[in-house]
Chains A and B, each alone.
Chain A
Amino acid sequence: MTRVLALVVCALAGSMAAAEAAEDARLVDDDSQNLKREILELDRDLRVLEDQTLYPAPTRVAVFVAMDIGAFFKLQSLRIQLDGREVAQHTYTDAETAALIRGATQQLYVGNAAGGAHQLLAVFTGIGPHGRPYRRAASLDFDQSAGPRNIELRVGDGENRQQPEFTARVWP
């Protein structure tokens, strides 16, 4: 009987240790979630502050890239010039173009432009109809005097001519 009691006590001690470990794990998870929330909020605040400081609204210019389903053009790279000066270039992976085809937009460039008239030139390089190397440009004249400018560069599918279409426009 004494041996049985000893075994029961040992078993209970083991169960209690396991229960304590499980409870501790739950507390750590709860406290971790609180801490991670604070860190995510700090990250957000830092990004907002950095944005406001580096790219204030009156001079902010952001350029985004979008695609239709890419029926006539496989985007490989893109270069952007602002007022004749190259400001961004990117070479695309398959995963990146797949994301664009799914309807996402890539923020390719963010910078500043003084008030007044500016010109954006985008040069698209890739594979065009019939699998041939293809390079086309799109340009946009815009005025930087009424707040931030968000510009969309789009690779469209020109169904009528069975050719890709490259456009640049300022989003309202």
Chain B
Amino acid sequence: MTRTRATLAAAGLLLLCTAAAGADKQAEGAKPLRDLYYGDVLYHYYQDQDFDALTRLMTARAQNHPQANDAEGELLLAGLLLSFGQTRDAIAGFEHGLQTETRPDKRNQAWLSLARALHQRDANPEALAALKHIDAPLEDDLEADRQMLTAELLIGAGRYDEAASTLQNWKGSRDWMSYARYNLGVALLRAGRTAEGEKQLEQVDHSDLQAEEQQALRDRANTALGYSYLQARQWDAARTALRRVRLAGPSSNQALLGLGWAESGLEHDRDALVPWMELASRDTGDLAVQEALLAVPYAMARAHAPTAAADQYLVAVNRYEQQVQQLAGLGAAVAKPAFVDRLLAASEQQGDAKTDPGKPIAPLDHLPDAPEYRALAKLIASDGFQAGLHNARRLAFLKQHLAGWSQRVAVLKTSAPSANWSAQSARIAQLSDACERMLARQRSALQDQAAAELQRTGQRLREYQTEARFGQARLLDRSATAPAAGKRP
């Protein structure tokens, strides 16, 4: 479940670092600025120039400026390192910095914000570990936030009973209630506590929230409910739940597939054809559509229309073949470095003009217009892939940054000679090469993920195609051996 996680995590990190900075004049009880150099760090931080803030802060600490080196500075450093993808160093910094934070509410709040930021970066075990540091209930909304995040992480880790326990007494705002019920319902279903889970998901449907995100949540709840009923062979209940899902929406394909199975379970095979044929007319790239291509002839055969069924099996074979051929072509596109470079270029153009690589980039709203990106849209939007793209972007930025230093040092060697410049030049060259190699490795890792996804998809399509061929062969075989009308056997 997601609830605009990027926005929440960014807000949480800001809260974390602002609480750490303590220099915000508008914040109650803010500490006065004692260090002009630390103030300069904040000058860049408050303008979302995270990389500049980070490098200035590291320099200020090395030059022993006081406020940069105390607990505030340490926590701000940890927050900036986190935003630059330095998860391990950030966590160590938080653990050390928060030891001296004597105010338990501030400390616990900081751990919550860190956990959310880690979750947004797909560092989920670390996020759970951060939540364990919270040693007292937080204030109202924050406590509800903590419970929700804990449950999400536990569900992701397959610890369903624990997730359900976390949410059983959840008390949060009305806007969040549906999300809590959905998460609790899913956790209970996956823990095998079906009746309890179904009860929670039914409640999600009864909420009257209308915003698009909440309607999408209601669709997901009804889809999960419908599939739970299908598994229990409660066909009528499944049909009722799945009929509530909107025909156009992120859950519609899954719901149409399930609705067909509910009708089929009730032995209403002609009725099953309605959702399945609608689904079969949609994009073959979708998994539910691929299954519908087999389901349609299955229903036709059961409805005593073998000839039509055999024809539909052949349609399925051909559509699978087209999709497989299309994917085969995409493999070559994904293998080129340009596959990742175009994604990086697209991410640079999104949102506002700020390209501070220290800041997280939002998931891609508009992919490059090419078939390989359309086919892999779900993978590209996934947290793991996005984390890899962020890393590639940072590495590309650092490579450029080092090139800038190389030029500066070349000038400084003549204008401000020092015995140290040669050694630094060598370091710059060595790390530039290392950065180039790492960028290539990151690019390659992303390409491998994309190739693995294409392989999985292709494999599945071949399996379905085999099923379709067998289905058609069975029908043709049956019609060939059936006695002709009026003839004696």
Chain A: residues with CB nearer than 8 A to chain B?
3, 7, 10-11, 13-14, 17-18, 20-22, 24-25, 28-29, 31-33, 35-51, 53-54, 62, 64, 66, 68-69, 95-96, 98-107, 150, 152, 171
A3 and B471 alpha carbons, distance in the complex (Å):
14
Known: A37-B86, A95-B47, A100-B43. A29 touches B387 (CB 8 A): yes
Whether the pair B456, A18 counts as a contact (CB closer than 8 A) is yes
Whether the pair B445, A10 counts as a contact (CB closer than 8 A) is no
A135 and B156 alpha carbons, distance in the complex (Å):
60
A104 and B39 alpha carbons, distance in the complex (Å):
5
Q: B438: which of A7, A35, A41, A62 is its contact (CB, 8 Å)?
A: A35
Whether the pair A14, B86 counts as a contact (CB closer than 8 A) is no
A53 and B417 alpha carbons, distance in the complex (Å):
8
Whether the pair B455, A14 counts as a contact (CB closer than 8 A) is yes
Please list the 9 inter-chain residue pairs (A to B) with the smallest Cβ-Cβ separation, ordered nearest first.
A105-B39, A104-B43, A99-B46, A104-B42, A44-B58, A14-B456, A103-B25, A53-B416, A21-B452
Whether the pair A22, B58 counts as a contact (CB closer than 8 A) is no
Q: B391: which of A32, A43, A69 is its contact (CB, 8 Å)?
A: A32
Secondary structure of the B contact surface, majority rule: helix
Closest chain-A Cβ to B234's Cβ sits at a distance in Å of: 29
Whether the pair A36, B42 counts as a contact (CB closer than 8 A) is no
Whether the pair A102, B46 counts as a contact (CB closer than 8 A) is yes
Contact with A along B13-34 (1 / 0, CB 8 A): 0000000000111100010010
Q: How many A-B residue pairs have CB under 8 A?
A: 183
Whether the pair A47, B449 counts as a contact (CB closer than 8 A) is no
Number of B interface residues in the complex (CB < 8 A) = 69
A47 and B51 alpha carbons, distance in the complex (Å):
14
The stretch from B106-114, B340-348, B420-428 touching chain A is B420-428
Whether the pair A11, B459 counts as a contact (CB closer than 8 A) is yes
Chain B: residues with CB nearer than 8 A to chain A?
23-26, 30, 33, 36-37, 39-40, 42-47, 54-55, 58-59, 62-63, 84-89, 384, 387-388, 391, 394-395, 398, 401-402, 405, 408-409, 412, 416, 418, 420-421, 424, 427-428, 431, 434-435, 438, 441-442, 445-446, 448-449, 451-453, 455-456, 459-460, 462-463, 466, 470
Closest chain-B Cβ to A138's Cβ sits at a distance in Å of: 16
A107 and B452 alpha carbons, distance in the complex (Å):
50
A41 and B405 alpha carbons, distance in the complex (Å):
13
Whether the pair B441, A102 counts as a contact (CB closer than 8 A) is no
Q: B435: which of A11, A35, A41, A69 is its contact (CB, 8 Å)?
A: A35
Whether the pair A46, B405 counts as a contact (CB closer than 8 A) is yes
Whether the pair A28, B391 counts as a contact (CB closer than 8 A) is yes
CB neighbours (8 Å) of A39 from chain B are 398, 401-402, 431, 435
CB neighbours (8 Å) of A98 from chain B are 46
CB neighbours (8 Å) of B402 from chain A are 39, 42
CB neighbours (8 Å) of B427 from chain A are 42
